[in-house]
Amino acid sequence: MATVTPATAEAGSAGYRTVFRTPEFPAVFAAHLMSVLGLVVAEISLSVLVYRLTGSPLMSALTFALGFLPYALGGTLLAGIADRLPARRVLVTCDLVCAACAAAMVLPATPVAALLVLRCAMAFVAPLFQGTRNASLPDILGSGEAYVLGRSLLRLVAQSAQLIGFGLGGLLLTVLAPRGAIALTAAGFLGSALLLRLGTRARPARTAVRTSPLAGMRAVLGRRRLRALTLLFWLPPVFLVVPEALLAAYADGIGAGTAVLGLMMCAMPVGTIAGELWAGSALSARTRSRIVAPLAAAGLLPFLLYAGRPGVPLVLLALLLAGLAHAHTLGLDQWYVEAVPDELRGRAMTLLSTGLMTLQGVGMALAGVAAEFVPVHLVVTGSGVLGTAVVLALLAELRSAVRQEERLRDETARAGK
């Protein structure tokens, strides 16, 4: 994929530490950490609270599902705001909305139905917040090496929350009532809003043009290269989540206990974090760009180990390797930010976050449906085969789109002469 190597790639990696030397980034990072941990604590605390109020496992599980369901709607309807309003105003407002929702959950008189509505409201604004923040990173860090590393750090925080967030929430619930833990979530969002308001500069909106949600989607997905890059972010996770979605069933099928299940659940996140840290700290920008295609193409192949219905060691290896291959995302981030026009950046980033979250949920649901009819180990194997074919097709489409752009530039240059 030499044709899509970023023209601005530096010969050496600046390293994660240099990103924090940018005056505004520490505030962005700290705000992200506070809001992510607060949200994870809210999820587990709200689940416990709803279960205690209703005694219903279904209602308790629904509190987690409501973190996904409004995401697609909010990301689609609100994407245009990310470019039409100043970024700092959007970010602070989203944090204040989430803080108000969490504060309302704390009130003893809030009924269960209202708790679920408030959870929906938090999920509804989440894609706008994420898209706006990601779109503002190039304004803060530039669109080169620092942007890639800064985006990676924010992603690492979110991934690490899978490993420590629920444990932290569980510990809090041993000393606090669920509503008390949710109060900490409200404080976290308020702290995030304060950090972003005082720690980042006010910048004007990217565009004053109003567009409908569908027009915004067409503006982003109507560009061939940008569409291929977007799908490279969206579609592989549909297959990547399959083994995780079916881990409980697979562990039961091979006679593994709950402790082993917990270990297997950690394998892919650990691999993902390790792979991203390695790519961000040990590789140059040029090398990160070069490994995108091979790692993306090979990322789902470890699932073929499931074909022989393996035991725990091979399952751990397969999940760890699939996570390590996530190191290609840093180079893909660079390709994406270079392909997005400035005036579309907010909408593009919001839609990118929306699709990622929504399609992961779709992948989990499809995995569950398939496992009703086909043995779990074959479902995971099939996801590796089908997912690899999809990734190869997308890489071929991206290569073709880049070559088409190069031909058009050459023709335009010759016509200008």
The candidate with the shortest Cα–Cα distance to 349, out of 143, 182, 160, 178, is: 143
d(CA 165, CA 170): 9
- Higher-pLDDT residue of 268 and 40 is 268
Mean pLDDT of the chain: 87
In order of their start, the domains of the chain are 16-199 (1.20.1250.20), 217-417 (1.20.1250.20)
pTM of the shown model:
0.82
12 pLDDT higher than 70: no
Q: What is the pLDDT of residues 90-102, one digit of tens each?
A: 999 999 999 999 9
Q: Which of 1-15, 168-182, 315-329, 353-367 is predicted with the least confidence, judged by mean pLDDT?
A: 1-15
Q: Report pLDDT for 10.
A: 40
d(CA 364, CA 317): 21
Q: Report pLDDT for 416.
A: 67
Tokens matching residue 195: 């950090």
Q: Report pLDDT for 303.
A: 97
186 pLDDT higher than 50: yes
Q: Where are the alpha helices (DSSP H) in 222-344?
A: 224-240, 242-245, 247-253, 258-282, 285-290, 292-298, 312-324, 329-339
The proportion of the chain whose per-residue pLDDT surpasses 70, expressed as a percent, equals: 93
Q: What is the pLDDT of residues 128-154, one digit of tens each?
A: 999 999 999 999 998 788 899 999 999
d(CA 271, CA 326): 8
d(CA 368, CA 379): 9
7 pLDDT higher than 70: no
pLDDT band for 6, please (50, 70, 90 cuts): very low
pLDDT band for 216, please (50, 70, 90 cuts): confident
Q: Is 313 helix (H, G, I), strand (E, B) or coil?
A: helix
Q: What is the pLDDT of residues 269-300, one digit of tens each?
A: 899 999 999 999 999 989 999 999 999 999 99
Q: What would the mean pLDDT of 42-62 be, rounded to a whole number?
A: 81
Q: Report pLDDT for 11.
A: 34
407 pLDDT higher than 50: yes
Q: What is the pLDDT of residues 326-344, one digit of tens each?
A: 999 999 999 999 999 888 8
The answer to whether the CB of 286 falls within 8 A of the CB of 145 is no
